[in-house]
Amino acid sequence: MANSDYSIEVSAEATFIAPRSNPAASQYFFAYRITIRNAGRLPAKLLSRHWVITHGDGHVEEVQGDGVVGEQPHLRPGEAFEYTSAAVLRTPIGTMHGEYLMLADDGHTFHAPIPVFRLLGPGATLH
């Protein structure tokens, strides 16, 4: 069982959506686009997701569930799946990261890490 049999690359890009946000009510709306690419040698299906969302004030939320946006994409080697979703934070800055649980066609399950990405609203600065 070589590591290169089971390799999923995940990239993310987040955008602040001002019209859907209400800073006076501590609601900052972010859309994010995720690209999942099978860089391994075996086809694999995305079974579930686990997100860790950290608000700028240190509050942490965890979100788990089956699939992504109602789908459980099956990716052959070299194939990619892209989707858009959203998160609402109570601060104008935060981070998200997590992992997908994948099932390869040979029956092996493995985790595909989602690297940390930042959510930056208006006036948010990184120190």
Identify the pLDDT of residue 68.
Answer: 97
pLDDT in tens, 11-46: 999 999 999 999 999 999 999 999 999 999 999 999
Identify the pLDDT of residue 1.
Answer: 43
Tell which wins on pLDDT, 76 or 126: 76
List the chain domain ranges.
Answer: 3-120
Query: Which residue from 85, 9, 88, 95 is spatially nearest to 46, judged by alpha carbons?
Result: 9
Share of the chain above pLDDT 70, in %: 95
Given a contact cutoff of 8 angstroms between Cβ atoms, the answer to whether 102 and 109 are in contact is yes
| Half-sphere exposure (Cβ direction) of 113: Cα atoms closer than 13 Å | 3
Dihedral sign for Cα 88, 90, 94, 96, please. negative
Identify the pLDDT of residue 3.
Answer: 57
Question: In the 8-state DSSP scheme, what is residue 1?
Answer: -
Q: What is the CATH number of domain 3-120?
A: 2.60.40.1470
Chain-centre distance for alpha carbon 122: 22
Q: Give the whole-angstrom CA distance, residue 18 versus residue 71.
A: 28
pLDDT in tens, 64-119: 999 999 999 999 999 999 999 999 999 999 999 999 999 999 999 999 999 999 99
Identify the pLDDT of residue 4.
Answer: 86
